[in-house]
Structure 1
């Protein structure tokens, strides 16, 4: 890697990074992606609505996606605002039903497509430093074995999620709307859990909220969302026992145990945005640009859309039309502001808990 030059260097091999790399490489650009983790990394399954289909079609991935065996999401079983349990069906959605992603399979598909398009991906490689030198970026990459490599690129992209590895080095500030975290575990069910009926379950509690969703016939994701300064479960077994205190969740958890092949994780889940989404030959995509509360189900769909439109703006830039970077930024800012309004409205519905978590989310 020492003397290699790329048109675009992307930090982060998540959904946004690989999608942008795929779009750019298909148009003949030489693209490299660096990720501090390995290809075996696993993200927790999540729900996406039917509006993901148009962006998948733009990426020529819809047919593969529909054949990959993701669960069809029929709706949500919700106990949220103290008014009792209800169901929200998606059959009447203008985009049809959504899907419950098998994230492992989804991520593998994106990686394979990007590599087949010519994208080079380097794992266990983190951005150590970068400098603007004349008309290119010099990026210093640190590998797990302690060695360093230097590559140059015409354009640098931050797709490192909430870590914002690149933009933080550039001094770009961020604004957080909250301090939400997710405590997550995969569950292994001893018997196929057909009782889920391909739906996600959302349950509020005094200090946060729960999310339970199956992504195969014997596996599901269990997540508890709360704030960083509040009490959190410290192990998957504690997480599972806490969930069983809620009747709506317990009925699905009696024949399961934490999956031993996947580590218990506590990860950031806060909503946030950075002050600028682009600058001198750099751009932020996905969660590195703006991150969404998981309640919105914006995650993967937003990452795909951000990457597609961000990569399209970069292609325009390389063709002598830099103004499209500003168009991309305006699009992202408008979407984030719309999200904040929707998020605040949804959280404001929960007023029956007089606790710090919910009081912080009541809109005056």
Structure 2
């Protein structure tokens, strides 16, 4: 038999989401769930309505315990899905990966929380593949629809090296220098949130515009795979944060404001208010952000609009939460 691996972490997530019941006896609750600027891979429940958080890694990752700890704190405080979860029970924290770093075991040993490490292998024999958990006696056969997600490997998957984030490009530095320390700190935090999300994310400075998207060589990004942008509108020194956020298609001819469970294709830039007390999202649909077609929402109003697209109503409490949604959407676009 030959050892195999999932081509992308997104592919692993697709398989685990579809296999929660046979693998772990869990009921799916939410995928890519956004809470307090963080993205939980999978939320599920046991038959007793105990909440389970699953963090998936396609390669060894030494920071998975810290990730799950932050998710635990946010979920324990916010208690989402209260009608489906019994929060009197402890929240289970599961890390699923092909290998675990020695630091993972040290972090788990000295934490006050309980973490479940689920190590897996994928074996192939002809046209049949199986997913084996080290803690389980039997393997689960991988359905044929997931076979295209797999590729053979020689030896253990190599761990992903830590990424070093350099200083901002001149386009953003010039704007940061004109801000108060508090505003500069917020912009820097958002920048790091974007860049630390995925190694494929590239930062490109263009005069007064700073863009973030899928890397195209060393100094470019694909225009069709942008995620975010800092850009000062005319007459202002402070940059505005623009995000590519999901927006549903309208049902033309239907009474009132009714939307389809389908995203608008193409550009759906959202202007996020950073420097005012008002928490608003302004959408510009189409190629231009200078036109008159604008749609304004409060955070709560936009969360309601997102519900049919995401399968749940997100809790947008901060700009970081909206950035997290933009990152999750960007990842789906990149991996289509």
In which range does the TM-score fall when normalised by the shorter chain?
A: under 0.3
Structure with a larger share of its residues in helix: 1
Q: Normalising by the residue count of structure 1, what TM-score does the alignment of the two structures yield?
A: 0.24
| Larger RCO (alpha carbons 8 Å, 6+ apart) | 1
